[in-house]
Structure 1
Amino acid sequence: MLLHFLHQNIGRTLSRLDLLHHVWPLSHPTDRTVDDHIYRLRKKLRSWERFSIDTIRGLGYRLVFKASKTSGNPLGLDHELRSGIDLLFNMYIRYGQGKGLQKLANHQEVLDIELDIDKDIYLHFVNGDFKWIVNHPESHFRDRAFYLLHVYSMIQFDALKTLSLFEKNLESQLLPPRHKFEIYTFNLISINLQAGRYDIVRQMITNARLQINQQKNGGSVYYLYNLELKLDLYSKQWSNFYQRLRAGDELYAQCPFFREKGVFLIIKGLWELVQGNSVSATRFLDNGLEMFEQSQFIPSLINGLHEILFSRKLLPATDVQNSYEEKWEQISRKYKFPELELSIYDELKKHL
């Protein structure tokens, strides 16, 4: 009945209420019943490559017929064009241009291309559509696991629990090599830093720098620099921190990367707090969050707020840090952090 009704309305977005009224008119199922049936139907449709059920955020579901592309624009098959689009996609990521990523995604039909599943998941991640990543049945867990771990790490404050989940997923061998590299090079450093394991972090940063130099990944230099700053700040190596901070002012004066520059401003704000300068601290913290908002990378904004609030565990807590609780609660309600935390945890544990 569900497939029949969707097919009768192919291409049309149907709300859960529409489906409840037309498919289950004599019973009293819940929204969860609809979601469960959609999930099972999607699994059955996997063998029919021409049909798929799309989730339209905030609206419902839509059955889509994928027309053959063999008679379309021949540019869609051009290797040079696809390579150029991959390069552009990665440039938007590096420079923190979420708006550019969205425009590229919205012009797939014009360019006669289809972004691969990893890019598709990344776009949902950038836009804050975390529930889609948790529940998307048409993508393999191994493609979603990295993003699930990343989201989990930034919506709650138990660093040891987060670290345990990362380590178990790495042991499971489910993660693709590119995601393993990113976790070992960046994510584990941040989580160990939050857990106060400073000696381990120092060695991990040394190893990460070797990896980055081998790959000649210039954009990662800024990310690593911020990690070193945070290590000196949280471990209270004031002399090292101050020297690195002054050098960072010169480094970031010409930095074109929105997200990395935003993190640097957050760190400067926390340093001002250590010195007891509440007014300048607030200015730097607000400017850092504003950089994240300009980038239109939702995870970066969440991470920035998380950093400010988590710093209370590693530095003396102040009223300035506490003042960001309200903004955190607003975002938590918008993206349903408590519910999201449980669903991500269940999804990760299910595959271990």
Structure 2
Amino acid sequence: MPVRVDLIAAARPNFMKVAPLFHVLSQQDWCTVRLVHTGQHYDANMSDSFFRDFSLPTPDIHLEIGSGSHAEQTGRVMIAYEQVLQEQPADWTIVVGDVNSTFACAMAAVKLGIRVAHLEAGLRSRDRTMPEEINRLATDAIVDLLWTPSSDADDNLLAEGVARDKIDFVGNIMLDSFELVRERIAGAGTQDKLGLSLSRYGIVTLHRPSNVDDPSTLRSLVEQLVDVSERLPLVFAVHPRTRARLEAAGLLETLEHTPGVHLIEPQGYIDFMNLVTGASLAITDSGGIQEETTYLGIPCLTLRRNTERPITLTEGTNRLLSPTELSAAVDAVLAEGLNADRPRPQLWDGQAAGRIADSLRKHALA
């Protein structure tokens, strides 16, 4: 009987990561794959478009959890996924990343005696004020198999007492996702579709509470974005949460009336990456884009005190900065120029999904 595998898709960053693995596992004769969508992101721009972009089928199971506090989301996912497993058991559950659903599904499965693998395990920011860090620590502490994207993640897990035989360094699946649709990204023509005519620009994404929840910090960022836009046009993909904070602080109108700032809605992966690949630099507080810009050799300015992806600092194009340093950092990057030919981190090669499938087969059939 084939090994029954649940692949959990929970929130926007997860969808693109599960796609390459889903396609590889679906071709195996030793397992069957069930795609489970928890519904943690319920906005069509932030979930459904990712299924279309990566040719994923309609999920076999949709938990339809929706929004709520961290505790509410985690609790509802645990209850709903536990019921699914009790009615239709799996042999393995694969969770991805560091969102609330990651830990919730891992916990529900482990307590029912189902083996769990964590894709993108071992990443650490050392900042426990970040909900994602708690999810990473808790998930890695209870799962059976940990797939790491970089060697520093292995080091983190070993230092925490995880047994070596539970850790497999498989590389960064985010880049499999990019390569899976690279031709479509190149031909997307997103600038034309959005009515933009920019030959040189920066791409901006901001959503973390540390940057957008405090009105004074947000005002400082807006002032610097306006300043930067006088030298480099900016395309700002505005997260719904960020838009609400900008409106509440009376700052949205400022950006709307700044000629060099182009506000757009959140994009599907293909359209967004078309903008990223054409950008002179990225300004962000997100996690994934730190990896993609390192892969592409595009400077990335991350408005955070820390990152769970330090390899993008030591072997990539990423740099951390505080909100007050943004304008000066942009000037420094523009003076330095691009460095697209720099070496990529080990196993960041677009082949991680195959290594993950081999690892799962080895452990599942042992």
TM-score range, shorter chain: under 0.3
Q: What is the TM-score of this pair, normalised by structure 2? A: 0.24
Q: Which structure has more strand as a fraction of its residues?
A: 2
Task: Select the structure of larger CA radius of gyration.
Answer: 1
Q: Which structure has more helix as a fraction of its residues?
A: 1
